[in-house]
Every structure is written in C-alpha cells, then in structure tokens.
Amino acid sequence: MRDILPPESGRWRRFTDVFADVVERAGYGQLITPLLEDLGVFTRIGDATDVVTKEMYDFVDKGERHIALRPEMTASVCRAFAEHRPTTPWKVFYSGSNFRYEKPQRGRYRQFDQVGLEVLGADDPNLDVEIIALAWEFYARLGLQQVSLIVNSLGEPDDRSRYVDALREHFTACGDALSQQSRATLERNPLRVLDSKRDVDQQHIAAAPRIAEFYSDDAAGHFEAVLTGLRALDIPFAIEPKLVRGLDYYRRTIFEFQGGTLDSAQNALGGGGRYDGLVEALGGPGTPGVGFALGVDRTLLACDDEGVFLAEPVRLDAFVVDVTGGLQAAAITAELRAAGLAADRGYDNRSMKAQMKLANRSGAAVALIVGEEELANGTVVVKPMRGGEQTAVSRSQISAYLTTHSDQN
Ligand code: HAM
C-alpha cells in the first residue's frame, strides 16, 4: 500500500476527472458503493479465482458479520442493482480503491485504484463496442500511444463448460510434462492454465483445444457483431484465443488493454467483458451486464514510461512576501483567492531573503512584496519572477491589477 503525495496526487485526481468527462458525455452516471461488502457478494464472483480464494481482505466485524474489503467493483455494482432495481439499461461508472492480498511489485499493489464502468440490462453487442471505444478515447485523452487491445469470447455458459471439460482432459493427459503450478491450477480452474507464462507449459498450451470450436451459433454471432463494430470504428484489435481473464463471472466477450512499456506480468492496463449471470447470482433478476475496469496505478506507470499526462505542480499566480508581521500577507492572499487567483505566502515572519527563496521555489508568476515602506505608503511591489521590471501598485488595486495581468505572466 502506498502514499500518493502532491503533486502526484493531483495527477490522480485529473485522471479520474478525465475519465468522468469521457463517460459522462456517453450517458454514464457515477455510482458510489461502500468500500466493504458482505463477504458473500464477492464469493459470488467465483470460488475458482485467486482473487476470492487467496487475496481477499476479509474479517468478522463487531456485529459478527463476515465482511470483506472490495477486491473489485463489478460485484458491488451488481449488488447495488439487485438492491435498488433501477430502470435499464443502467449505465454507471465508478472510481476508487480495491484491495487484494497479492505479491507486491512494480504495478501490483495490495491497495490499488480503478476507474471503470458497467452497463446492466442490455444484451446488444454494440454496447460491448461502445465501452471499448470509450476506454480507447480515454487512453487517447491521456496521450498514451502504446496500448493494444486483445479480445476473445468465452461463449455461452454451456459452451464454456464444454470447453473447460475439453481443456481438463487435454491438460490431464499432459501429466507430469506440465509444470507443477499448472497442475495445481488445473485442479481448480483449467481455463487459467492457459495463462501460464512458464516455458515448459507453452507447447501444451499451443496444442490445447480452442474456444472457438465450442461456440454456439448465438455466441459466435454476438462475437462477430462485436468485431464488426470495432472495425467500423477503426479500433485496432487482435483476437487472443488464450485470453481468459482472472475472474470467473465472464461469459461471451472479454477484452484486455495492454501497455507496451510494462513487464508482461503487469502489462494489463485494464480489462473487462460480459458477465450475464452475476446479478442473478446476487439475488436480482436475470440481467445481462458488461463493463471494464482500468487500473489507475498501472496506467500512470505507462504514462510515466511514455512521458505523457505528467504530474503538474499547482500553478500559483502570486506569492506574498510580507516582512511587516504577516497581517498584510493574510489579507492580500485572502483577497486574491476570493478574486479567483491562486496565491500562497510565507509564514513565521521570516526574513526577506528567506521568503523570496520560497517565492522562487513556489513557481509563482509574481512575488508581491510588502515592507515597512510599502505598508506606510499603501502600496505593494509586484516583482515578476520570470523576468521583467518590478512595479509598485496601490494596495487597493492589487487584485484588479493581477487579474488583468495574470495572463501575461
Ligand atoms: P481485473 O482484470 O481484475 O478486472 O482488474 C482490472 C485492472 O485493475 C487490471 O487490468 C489492472 O490494471 C488493475 N489491477 C488489478 N489488480 C491490481 C493490483 N494488485 N495492483 C495494481 N493494479 C491492479 C476487474 O477488476 C473487473 N472488475 C473488470 C470488469 C468490470 N469486468 C467487467 N466489468
């Protein structure tokens, strides 16, 4: 878990603001759910996933309720849908922290943030296309260029379970040739064996049956419609038959955005897909759902690597240097801030030299200097910090002066 300090924290906020701007213009409203839920909400994600079986921060509270810090937000959204029964299609977005007890490394943390969206109550393949297009637009707004999109379909639940059986048979026949870790994964979730990055497993994965052989007509039609929609919007993608994603609730379309600059173990910037059975599993009516979540921590690392969407220090219009005791600085900063300008000041009645050093470091466009002489004759010295003549301005005119001159500084 990490502390995010300024100015990096400002970049986090801008990140969420840009995301909200992109998706609100597409009709999504923000949903805020609790950080923790009844454990059962998350066990419905699937008991074959590491997220649920190994990584959950769960505990019994003072009221003897077994609860968990959310490891992701899709389950919370579906729980909220089942509880409030809003009209459909329900288009919501969210941002916030999630918790997974994973092995921390660059791009993988135990508390991490996501922004994401979900649409409940519509089956339309064009919706799968819409959400991918929104993520694509968001990456463009950040300035990221090295993002690639991979897509796959897991078919309908029946197709998927026949495929899982076929995989189990295939990998079981490999016996000891499969890595020990993959043999353990096979017991729990044969699909996840396809995710193995171990060399010894690769030839067996390459020879494994392909999901496309198991699609029903409906699943094949839905997937084809998604691909057609992506082509129509000129969104480049690759079909990745081995893509299975880490959560169990997916059906039909799944996709992932990968960053070109990150290590392959942590290169998923975000991902999502359809999860048509999740609302029902949480006690609601049968409701199709589709959505994605993008990792904030990891996407910002990708931004660092590409030198885009960098942290910006707060831009100050003025830094007040008051060597007459500090009351002038208090009054002037309050006046400037009320006039919509950004102003900071020195404290503790420090020397002129010390305060000018602070003014310099603050990055402010001008220093406003009040000494005994200025106090006596009712003026303030305006000193441009990036070159230019200093001038004395009447104390009563100072915010009007800065308002008209701040663009030029
Ligand atoms: P997920 O693939 O588990 O999907 O997480 C989405 C993204 O969150 C990942 O691609 C990654 O960028 C980020 N992420 C996940 N775990 C960590 C971690 N430990 N540290 C840093 N970043 C991490 C979901 O969470 C689904 N709820 C997505 C979804 C929404 N599917 C449908 N709707």
CA gap 381, 373 in Å, rounded: 10
By DSSP bridging, strand 111-120 and strand 90-99 are: antiparallel
Determine whether 184 is exposed, middle or buried from the number of CB atoms within 10 Å of its CB (0-12, 13-18, 19+). exposed
The ligand 1 atom nearest the CA atom of 74: 27
The band of 195, judged by pLDDT with boundaries at 50, 70 and 90, is confident
Quote the mean pLDDT of the chain.
94
**Which pLDDT band, with edges at 50, 70 and 90, does 222 fall under?**
very high
pTM of the model: 0.93
pLDDT tens digits for 240-267?
A: 998 988 888 899 999 999 999 888 878 9
Mutation test residue for ligand 1: of 55, 72, 149, the one with most atoms within 8 Å of CB: 72
- What is the helix (H) or strand (E) element at residue 164, kind and residue range? helix 157-174
User: Does the Cβ of 259 fall within 6 Å of ligand 1?
Assistant: no
253 lines ligand 1 (CB under 6 A): no
β-pair partners for 256 = 150, 271
For ligand 1, atom 21, the nearest C-alpha belongs to 108
Tokens standing for residue 118: 């979900």
289 in contact with ligand 1, CB cutoff 6 A? no
Convert the pLDDT of each residue in 98-117 to its tens digit: 999 999 998 999 999 999 99
pLDDT of residue 196: 87
| 269 pocket-lining for ligand 1 (C-beta < 6 Å) | yes
Which ligand 1 atom sits nearest the alpha carbon of residue 118?
33
Q: Is 346 in the pocket of ligand 1 (CB under 6 A)?
A: no
pLDDT tier at 276 (50, 70, 90 boundaries)?
confident
* Nearest atom (ligand 1) to Cα of 270: 10
Which residue lies with its CA nearest to atom 3 of ligand 1?
Answer: 246
Which residue's alpha carbon is nearest to atom 1 within ligand 1? 271
265 or 151, higher pLDDT: 151
Q: For a pocket test of ligand 1, which of 142, 247, 261, 300 has the largest count of ligand atoms closer than 8 A to its C-beta? A: 247
Counting Cα atoms < 13 Å in the Cβ hemisphere of 318 gives 30
pLDDT of residue 407: 59
Tell me the per-residue pLDDT of 366-379, one tens digit each, with 9 for 90 and over. 999 999 999 999 99
Which of 5-14, 166-175, 189-198 has the lowest average pLDDT?
189-198
Say if ligand 1 is within 6 A of residue 271 CB: yes
- CB-ligand 1 contact for 108 (6 Å cutoff): yes
The count of residues in the chain is: 409
Ligand 1 within 6 A of CB of 71 = no
pLDDT of amino acid 408: 52
Structural contact between residues 219 and 162, judged by C-beta atoms closer than 8 angstroms:
no
Q: Does the pLDDT of residue 157 top 60, yes or no?
A: yes
Confidence band (pLDDT; 50, 70, 90) for 72?
very high
Beta carbon of 292 within 6 Å of any ligand 1 atom: yes
β-sheet with 147-153: strand ranges across: 29-30, 90-99, 111-120, 289-295, 268-274, 251-259, 147-153, 238-239
Q: Is the pLDDT of residue 206 over 70?
A: yes
